Amino acid sequence: MIHCYKCGADLPDNLNYCLHCGGKLDGGMVDETIDEREIETVEAIGEREIETVVLERDAVPEPVRIVAPRTIEDKPPAGSPARIMGVVGLLVIATMIGLLGYSFLPAPKGTDPVQPASDSAANANRATANSINASANAANAIANARQALANVDRALANVDRALENKNAQNSVATTLPPPKSGDGWFIILGSYAKFHPERATDRIEQLRDLGIEASIVDTDNYPGFNRGLYAVVLGPFSKAEADSRLASLQRRFPVAYAKSGY
């Protein structure tokens, strides 16, 4: 057992610092079996061992007691503030060295190095511009789709009108009885393409309002007429009668004329 000279605590052998007060034990080892002797500690010159010479109080030489060698280390006990600060300092230094080394490492393959703030701002501006362009393209695509739908609607309307015209063509023309010999003359008050039968029917309605009963004929049925037309006619008459009626009608319808259908 040894005693601390500062606080007087009993301590185990081979300690360099007191476990109670933390004071350094500078050779403060006392053997309880020789507590009546004066102990003097002499540190011999050397790196690995310390010799302790014990002298009696009355100067009677005693055998020299050799203490087990121990290394001379100035280590503070575990948990002391000095040791904790040392460990923290080492950790800080190691962290700084690691960060410094990492900054000099090449960028991993397939990844981009850290870009400056100006490049990041430029990339953000490009991304914004691309987003605006994408929105404009989407709006144009929607407009084109609407225009295509409108074209489809117009095409369907044209088909409906064509069907109506076809039906009208099948019902608008009147087949007149074949004329007697020499009576194949007609007074023509208008002729219209077959894809516009409504014009022929409108002309008939106008004439009826004026008290004139006319007919619509398919010119394909009359070899003397031009083909592919609907003609609004009066007749059939003989040539003399057609000429007589035409003279009175031309005052009201200057475009009227007489023609033989055969």
Distance CA 17, CA 4 (A): 9
- Residue 17 is classified by DSSP as B
Indicate if the alpha-carbon torsion angle 140, 141, 144, 145 is positive or negative.
negative
Secondary structure of 40-104 in the HEC alphabet? CCCCCCCCCCCCCCECCCCCCCCCCCCCCCCCCCCCCCCCCHHHHHHHHHHHHHHHHHHHHHHHC
pLDDT at 212: 92
Cross-strand partners of 190: 232
pLDDT at 187: 95
Distance CA 107, CA 85 (A): 35
Distances (CA, A) of 11 to 8, 52, 68, 132, 226: 9, 18, 16, 81, 141
Return the exposure string of 190-208: e unless at least 16 CB atoms fall within 10 Å of the residue's CB, then b. Answer: bbbebeebeebbebbeebe
Among residues 168, 224, 222, the alpha carbon closest in space to that of 194 is found at 168
CB of 217 within 8 A of CB of 204?
Answer: no
Domains within the chain, CATH numbers bracketed: 1-78 (no CATH), 185-260 (3.30.70)
pLDDT at 97: 85
pLDDT at 49: 42
Question: What pLDDT tens digit does each residue of the chain (262 aa) get?
Answer: 777 877 888 888 787 888 788 877 765 444 444 344 444 443 443 444 444 434 444 444 555 455 444 544 455 555 567 777 777 888 888 888 877 776 666 655 655 555 566 788 888 888 999 989 998 999 999 999 999 999 998 999 888 877 766 665 555 666 566 555 567 899 999 999 998 899 999 999 999 999 999 999 999 999 999 999 999 999 899 999 999 999 989 988 999 999 998 8
Cross-strand partners of 230: 192, 218
pLDDT at 53: 39
What's the pTM value of the predicted model, to 2 decimals? Answer: 0.36
Q: Residue 83: how many CB atoms within 10 A of its CB? A: 13
Q: What angle do CA 125, 131, 137 make, to 5 degrees?
A: 135
